A and B are shown apart, each in its own frame.
Chain A
């Protein structure tokens, strides 16, 4: 069965510091991987996706993620945090095929200190 692990529940960084949010997946077949962001009282917004075209994926708002098959990881990074990045971040995995479902990690809260 597919699964996603997001270690920790909360990350706090200073404004301007590097953001690193970790995601590891478990899969026996090539996965499709996604990062979503959720601001308070809003829906989920897609940040970026990995669909096997390139291992380094650039997304919106300056975020990027690198797919590492050997480490079964898809960590999200941003070189310089902004106050507006404070939100909940979800990593999700899915697989090819009809009716394929998204499996979400438990999410991680990012706080940005002034």
Chain B
């Protein structure tokens, strides 16, 4: 099973709402990632978790709050977003090693619209 699932598929939220995006994988991967992708652009890395610990934060605004409750789950908590945060949010996972690299497997994404 090489599947990464994401829920919800679509989300519309107001600027004062609080919502969460969820990502799940059952491949035994110990690295998980959040990306933001605007239309016709490549994905931009937001956060990386390695062994359930935050290892990379690409200077993302605090209105985005990641959480990794266990090795299979990754959440992205959203609060007080701006309209420019509207985008496709992609989750990915990979095996983890200190040398070399494994390919990342991506989920289908959550299409977020901030009104």
Contacts and interface: CB of A to CB of B under 8 A. Distances in A.
Interface string A78-107: 000000000010100011111111101111
Nearest to A91: B42
Contacts, number: 58
Interface stretch (B13-21, B65-73, B76-84, B93-101): B93-101
A102 B45 contact: yes
Interface in A23-80: 32, 34, 36, 41-46, 49, 51
Nearest to A42: B108
Contact of B104 (A99, A102, A105): A102
Contact of B101 (A36, A95, A107): A95
Nearest to B100: A96
Contacts of A46: 103-105
A100 B99 CA distance: 9
B12 interface: no
A96 B50 contact: no
Interface of A: 32, 34, 36, 41-46, 49, 51, 88, 90, 94-102, 104-107
